[in-house]
């Protein structure tokens, strides 16, 4: 149980284009989803927290107009990187929590974004 999927697993796009990454909880309802970014040999940095049906809460320094997050249902959240630039190339990981006093966040397998 508690499986989280991400799609795509990797993507290459040209500078200036937009990319959408999907995060799905497959066997539970995720009231809260988190989006992280990880640069090579660095740790995971929380970008934003999203609750189903409400606007995402962004961490300091993360541009909400560049990283659009939608959490339209209890099993799906999307992250859209708009007008991507090479410096946005990173490993994007989502996690999901059921919110039922569970202490765990269940992580997706990650999406490797390369902007050329």
Partner 1 sequence: GQNIDQPTEMTATEGAIVQINCTYQTSGFNGLFWYQQHAGEAPTFLSYNVLDGLEEKGRFSSFLSRSKGYSYLLLKELQMKDSASYLCAVRDGDYKLSFGAGTTVTVRA
Binding site for partner 1 (CB under 8 A): 32, 34, 42-46, 49, 91, 93, 97, 103-105, 107-110, 112
Cα separation of 114 and 28, whole Å?
A: 30
Structure tokens at 67: 């990283």
Q: Which is nearer to partner 1, 92 or 115 (CB)?
A: 92
Minimum distance, C-beta of residue 41 to partner 1, in the bound complex (Å): 8
Asked if 57 contacts 100 with a C-beta cutoff of 8 angstroms, the reply is no
Cα separation of 39 and 43, whole Å?
A: 7
Q: Which is nearer to partner 1, 34 or 67 (CB)?
A: 34
Minimum distance, C-beta of residue 83 to partner 1, in the bound complex (Å): 26
């Amino acid at each position: 149980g508690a499986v989280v999927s991400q799609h795509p697993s990797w993507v290459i796009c040209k500078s200036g284009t937009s990319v959408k990454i999907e995060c799905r909880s497959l066997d539970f309802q995720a009231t809260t989803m988190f989006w992280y970014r990880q640069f090579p040999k660095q740790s995971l940095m929380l970008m934003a927290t999203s609750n189903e049906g409400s606007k995402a809460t962004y961490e300091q320094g993360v541009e909400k107009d560049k990283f659009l997050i939608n959490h339209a249902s209890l099993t799906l959240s999307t992250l859209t990187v708009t007008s991507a630039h090479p410096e946005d190339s990173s490993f994007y990981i989502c996690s999901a929590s059921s919110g039922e006093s569970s202490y765990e966040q269940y992580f997706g397998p990650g999406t490797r974004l390369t902007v050329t």
